[in-house]
Structure 1
Protein backbone atom coordinates (compact mmCIF):
# COMPACT_ATOMS: atom_id res chain seq x y z
CA UNK A 1 0.00 0.00 0.00
CA UNK A 2 2.95 2.33 0.68
CA UNK A 3 6.55 2.76 -0.31
CA UNK A 4 8.77 1.73 2.58
CA UNK A 5 10.38 4.72 4.22
CA UNK A 6 13.91 4.49 5.68
CA UNK A 7 12.49 4.15 9.22
CA UNK A 8 10.36 1.19 8.06
CA UNK A 9 13.33 -0.50 6.43
CA UNK A 10 15.40 -0.07 9.61
CA UNK A 11 12.74 -1.52 11.89
CA UNK A 12 11.75 -4.36 9.58
CA UNK A 13 15.32 -5.42 8.83
CA UNK A 14 16.59 -5.07 12.42
CA UNK A 15 13.61 -5.46 14.79
CA UNK A 16 15.73 -6.57 17.74
CA UNK A 17 17.84 -3.42 17.52
CA UNK A 18 15.02 -0.97 16.82
CA UNK A 19 12.20 -2.46 18.95
CA UNK A 20 13.35 -5.03 21.53
CA UNK A 21 16.70 -3.50 22.53
CA UNK A 22 15.00 -0.13 23.04
CA UNK A 23 12.46 -1.58 25.49
CA UNK A 24 9.71 -2.48 23.05
CA UNK A 25 7.73 -5.63 22.35
CA UNK A 26 6.82 -7.72 19.30
CA UNK A 27 3.97 -10.22 18.98
CA UNK A 28 3.17 -12.68 16.21
CA UNK A 29 -0.07 -14.33 15.15
CA UNK A 30 0.32 -18.00 14.34
CA UNK A 31 -2.26 -19.85 12.28
CA UNK A 32 -2.50 -23.59 13.08
CA UNK A 33 -1.71 -24.67 9.53
CA UNK A 34 -0.23 -21.59 7.83
CA UNK A 35 2.33 -20.61 10.47
CA UNK A 36 3.10 -16.96 11.28
CA UNK A 37 0.52 -14.78 9.53
CA UNK A 38 0.66 -11.49 11.41
CA UNK A 39 2.70 -9.22 13.62
CA UNK A 40 2.39 -6.15 15.79
CA UNK A 41 4.91 -4.22 17.87
CA UNK A 42 4.99 -1.64 20.62
CA UNK A 43 7.94 0.71 20.11
CA UNK A 44 9.06 2.56 23.23
CA UNK A 45 9.21 6.32 22.76
CA UNK A 46 9.85 7.24 26.41
CA UNK A 47 8.99 5.82 29.83
CA UNK A 48 5.38 4.66 29.68
CA UNK A 49 4.88 5.95 26.12
CA UNK A 50 4.64 3.44 23.27
CA UNK A 51 3.73 3.47 19.61
CA UNK A 52 1.69 0.58 18.24
CA UNK A 53 3.53 -0.08 15.00
CA UNK A 54 4.27 -2.53 12.21
CA UNK A 55 0.89 -4.21 12.54
CA UNK A 56 0.25 -6.39 9.55
CA UNK A 57 -1.51 -9.56 8.50
CA UNK A 58 -0.76 -11.78 5.51
CA UNK A 59 -3.18 -11.14 2.64
CA UNK A 60 -4.20 -14.81 2.47
CA UNK A 61 -5.75 -14.69 5.97
CA UNK A 62 -7.52 -11.34 5.75
CA UNK A 63 -11.14 -11.75 6.68
CA UNK A 64 -10.35 -14.34 9.36
CA UNK A 65 -10.13 -11.62 12.07
CA UNK A 66 -6.47 -12.41 12.73
CA UNK A 67 -5.63 -8.71 12.93
CA UNK A 68 -8.45 -8.02 15.36
CA UNK A 69 -7.46 -10.89 17.66
CA UNK A 70 -3.81 -9.83 17.51
CA UNK A 71 -4.69 -6.21 18.30
CA UNK A 72 -6.93 -7.27 21.19
CA UNK A 73 -4.13 -9.41 22.61
CA UNK A 74 -1.69 -6.51 22.42
CA UNK A 75 -4.27 -4.24 24.09
CA UNK A 76 -4.64 -6.68 26.99
CA UNK A 77 -0.87 -6.46 27.54
CA UNK A 78 -0.57 -2.72 26.89
CA UNK A 79 -1.90 -1.22 30.16
CA UNK A 80 1.01 -2.63 32.15
CA UNK A 81 3.48 -1.54 29.44
CA UNK A 82 2.21 1.76 28.02
CA UNK A 83 0.83 3.08 31.27
CA UNK A 84 0.91 6.73 30.20
CA UNK A 85 0.28 6.75 26.45
CA UNK A 86 -0.32 4.25 23.69
CA UNK A 87 -0.67 5.71 20.21
CA UNK A 88 -0.44 4.83 16.54
CA UNK A 89 0.29 6.67 13.32
CA UNK A 90 -1.27 5.72 10.01
CA UNK A 91 -2.70 7.03 6.76
CA UNK A 92 -6.33 7.87 5.97
CA UNK A 93 -6.23 5.38 3.07
CA UNK A 94 -6.04 2.54 5.62
CA UNK A 95 -9.79 2.73 6.20
CA UNK A 96 -10.28 -0.86 7.37
CA UNK A 97 -7.42 -0.57 9.86
CA UNK A 98 -8.67 2.78 11.16
CA UNK A 99 -12.12 1.26 11.69
CA UNK A 100 -10.52 -1.63 13.60
CA UNK A 101 -8.56 0.78 15.77
CA UNK A 102 -11.65 2.90 16.49
CA UNK A 103 -13.66 -0.22 17.33
CA UNK A 104 -10.98 -1.22 19.85
CA UNK A 105 -10.62 2.03 21.78
CA UNK A 106 -8.40 4.32 19.73
CA UNK A 107 -9.50 7.90 19.11
CA UNK A 108 -8.12 10.50 16.72
CA UNK A 109 -5.72 12.83 18.52
CA UNK A 110 -4.29 16.13 17.30
CA UNK A 111 -1.76 16.24 20.16
CA UNK A 112 -0.28 12.90 19.07
CA UNK A 113 -0.15 14.12 15.47
CA UNK A 114 1.67 17.29 16.55
CA UNK A 115 4.19 15.42 18.68
CA UNK A 116 4.87 12.26 16.64
CA UNK A 117 3.23 12.64 13.21
CA UNK A 118 6.39 13.77 11.44
CA UNK A 119 7.99 10.35 12.05
CA UNK A 120 6.56 9.10 8.74
CA UNK A 121 6.06 11.02 5.52
CA UNK A 122 2.81 9.10 4.85
CA UNK A 123 1.33 9.88 8.28
CA UNK A 124 -1.87 11.90 8.25
CA UNK A 125 -3.79 10.11 11.01
CA UNK A 126 -2.74 9.87 14.65
CA UNK A 127 -4.72 7.97 17.26
CA UNK A 128 -4.45 7.45 21.01
CA UNK A 129 -5.73 4.45 22.95
CA UNK A 130 -8.31 5.35 25.55
CA UNK A 131 -8.84 2.62 28.13
Structure 2
Protein backbone atom coordinates (compact mmCIF):
# COMPACT_ATOMS: atom_id res chain seq x y z
CA UNK A 1 0.00 0.00 0.00
CA UNK A 2 1.17 3.51 -0.65
CA UNK A 3 1.58 5.84 2.32
CA UNK A 4 -1.55 7.71 3.35
CA UNK A 5 -0.95 11.05 5.02
CA UNK A 6 -3.30 11.25 7.99
CA UNK A 7 -4.77 14.38 9.51
CA UNK A 8 -3.37 14.90 13.02
CA UNK A 9 -5.78 16.04 15.75
CA UNK A 10 -5.18 17.33 19.27
CA UNK A 11 -6.89 15.67 22.23
CA UNK A 12 -10.51 16.63 22.79
CA UNK A 13 -12.70 14.92 25.36
CA UNK A 14 -14.90 13.43 22.63
CA UNK A 15 -11.83 11.64 21.21
CA UNK A 16 -11.00 9.95 24.54
CA UNK A 17 -12.85 6.72 23.62
CA UNK A 18 -10.57 6.31 20.58
CA UNK A 19 -7.52 6.68 22.81
CA UNK A 20 -8.85 3.96 25.11
CA UNK A 21 -10.13 1.59 22.43
CA UNK A 22 -7.16 1.76 20.03
CA UNK A 23 -4.65 1.20 22.82
CA UNK A 24 -6.68 -1.49 24.58
CA UNK A 25 -6.97 -3.36 21.26
CA UNK A 26 -3.25 -3.46 20.51
CA UNK A 27 -2.15 -4.07 24.10
CA UNK A 28 -4.63 -6.93 24.50
CA UNK A 29 -3.54 -8.47 21.21
CA UNK A 30 0.00 -9.05 22.55
CA UNK A 31 -0.13 -8.62 26.33
CA UNK A 32 -2.61 -8.19 29.12
CA UNK A 33 -3.86 -4.78 30.20
CA UNK A 34 -2.11 -3.80 33.42
CA UNK A 35 -3.60 -1.57 36.12
CA UNK A 36 -1.33 1.29 35.03
CA UNK A 37 -2.70 0.94 31.46
CA UNK A 38 -6.31 1.04 32.63
CA UNK A 39 -5.71 4.12 34.77
CA UNK A 40 -4.25 6.11 31.87
CA UNK A 41 -6.67 4.81 29.23
CA UNK A 42 -9.74 5.48 31.38
CA UNK A 43 -8.60 8.94 32.53
CA UNK A 44 -6.52 10.51 29.75
CA UNK A 45 -7.40 14.10 30.66
CA UNK A 46 -6.39 13.81 34.33
CA UNK A 47 -3.44 11.44 33.77
CA UNK A 48 -1.89 12.98 30.64
CA UNK A 49 -3.40 16.29 29.48
CA UNK A 50 -3.91 18.21 32.76
CA UNK A 51 -0.36 17.54 34.08
CA UNK A 52 1.11 19.02 30.88
CA UNK A 53 1.12 16.12 28.44
CA UNK A 54 -0.17 15.72 24.91
CA UNK A 55 -2.32 13.19 23.07
CA UNK A 56 -2.47 13.22 19.29
CA UNK A 57 -4.76 11.29 16.96
CA UNK A 58 -4.35 10.26 13.33
CA UNK A 59 -7.39 10.32 11.07
CA UNK A 60 -7.50 8.86 7.58
CA UNK A 61 -10.22 9.86 5.15
CA UNK A 62 -12.71 7.04 4.81
CA UNK A 63 -11.34 5.18 7.86
CA UNK A 64 -11.76 7.75 10.64
CA UNK A 65 -9.48 7.89 13.70
CA UNK A 66 -6.99 5.04 13.24
CA UNK A 67 -4.10 5.88 15.55
CA UNK A 68 -3.06 7.71 18.67
CA UNK A 69 0.04 8.52 20.69
CA UNK A 70 0.75 10.41 23.92
CA UNK A 71 3.50 12.35 25.62
CA UNK A 72 3.09 11.87 29.36
CA UNK A 73 4.94 14.38 31.55
CA UNK A 74 6.98 12.47 34.13
CA UNK A 75 9.17 15.23 35.58
CA UNK A 76 9.97 18.95 35.21
CA UNK A 77 11.10 18.47 31.58
CA UNK A 78 10.91 14.68 31.13
CA UNK A 79 8.27 13.05 28.94
CA UNK A 80 7.43 9.47 28.16
CA UNK A 81 6.27 8.69 24.64
CA UNK A 82 3.49 6.26 25.48
CA UNK A 83 0.28 4.63 24.33
CA UNK A 84 1.09 4.65 20.64
CA UNK A 85 -1.32 2.44 18.78
CA UNK A 86 -2.70 2.02 15.27
CA UNK A 87 -5.79 0.02 14.39
CA UNK A 88 -5.15 -3.25 12.62
CA UNK A 89 -7.32 -2.05 9.72
CA UNK A 90 -4.84 0.79 9.08
CA UNK A 91 -1.57 -1.09 9.43
CA UNK A 92 0.69 -0.83 6.41
CA UNK A 93 -0.35 2.79 5.73
CA UNK A 94 2.65 4.23 7.65
CA UNK A 95 0.27 5.85 10.14
CA UNK A 96 2.65 5.08 13.01
CA UNK A 97 5.49 6.86 11.25
CA UNK A 98 3.41 10.00 10.59
CA UNK A 99 2.06 9.97 14.14
CA UNK A 100 5.49 9.49 15.68
CA UNK A 101 6.93 12.34 13.59
CA UNK A 102 4.12 14.65 14.79
CA UNK A 103 4.71 13.65 18.42
CA UNK A 104 8.46 14.23 18.07
CA UNK A 105 7.79 17.73 16.72
CA UNK A 106 5.60 18.43 19.74
CA UNK A 107 8.23 17.04 22.13
CA UNK A 108 10.74 19.43 20.61
CA UNK A 109 8.46 22.42 21.25
CA UNK A 110 8.05 21.21 24.85
CA UNK A 111 11.86 20.90 25.15
CA UNK A 112 11.40 17.36 26.46
CA UNK A 113 14.55 16.14 28.20
CA UNK A 114 14.70 13.28 28.41
CA UNK A 115 12.13 12.04 25.92
CA UNK A 116 11.96 8.31 26.39
CA UNK A 117 9.79 5.27 25.82
CA UNK A 118 9.28 1.88 27.40
CA UNK A 119 8.29 -1.13 25.35
CA UNK A 120 8.69 -4.86 24.90
CA UNK A 121 11.07 -6.74 22.64
CA UNK A 122 7.90 -8.45 21.29
CA UNK A 123 7.17 -5.15 19.49
CA UNK A 124 10.01 -5.50 16.96
CA UNK A 125 8.37 -3.45 14.14
CA UNK A 126 7.73 -0.55 16.55
CA UNK A 127 11.28 -0.72 17.91
CA UNK A 128 12.61 -0.57 14.35
CA UNK A 129 10.49 2.55 13.72
CA UNK A 130 11.70 4.16 16.96
CA UNK A 131 15.32 3.48 15.99
CA UNK A 132 14.72 4.86 12.48
CA UNK A 133 13.39 8.14 13.92
CA UNK A 134 16.17 8.71 16.45
CA UNK A 135 15.59 6.63 19.60
CA UNK A 136 18.48 4.70 21.11
CA UNK A 137 18.45 1.87 23.65
CA UNK A 138 19.28 3.26 27.09
CA UNK A 139 20.08 1.32 30.27
CA UNK A 140 19.70 4.42 32.47
CA UNK A 141 16.13 4.97 31.25
CA UNK A 142 15.39 1.30 31.97
CA UNK A 143 16.76 1.63 35.50
CA UNK A 144 14.87 4.87 36.20
CA UNK A 145 11.48 4.14 34.62
CA UNK A 146 11.25 0.55 33.37
CA UNK A 147 9.69 -1.04 36.45
CA UNK A 148 6.31 0.61 35.79
CA UNK A 149 5.23 -2.13 33.37
CA UNK A 150 5.66 -5.88 33.73
CA UNK A 151 5.99 -6.25 29.95
CA UNK A 152 8.78 -3.66 29.65
CA UNK A 153 12.18 -5.06 28.68
CA UNK A 154 13.24 -2.27 26.28
CA UNK A 155 13.87 1.36 27.21
CA UNK A 156 14.90 4.00 24.70
CA UNK A 157 15.87 7.68 24.80
CA UNK A 158 15.35 10.09 21.94
CA UNK A 159 18.75 11.20 20.67
CA UNK A 160 18.34 12.60 17.16
CA UNK A 161 21.41 12.94 14.98
CA UNK A 162 22.04 16.63 14.54
The two structures share one fold, judged by TM-score above 0.5 = yes
CA offset digits 1:21-71 (Å, max 9, x no partner): 111100000011111000000000011100000000000010000010100
Residue 67 of structure 1 corresponds to 96
Q: What RMSD, in angstroms, separates the aligned Cα atoms of the two structures?
A: 0.8
Q: Distance in 2 between matches of 1:22 and 1:102?
A: 28
Q: Matched residue pairs, number? A: 131
CA contact (8 A) 1:19 1:25 kept: yes
Normalising to structure 1: TM-score of the pair?
A: 0.97
Q: In the alignment, does 2:147 pair up with 1:118?
A: yes
Match of 1:22 among 39, 51, 65: 51
Deviation for aligned residue 1:82: 4.0
Residue 34 of structure 2 corresponds to 5
Runs of 5+ consecutive residues of structure 2 not aligned to the other structure: 1-29
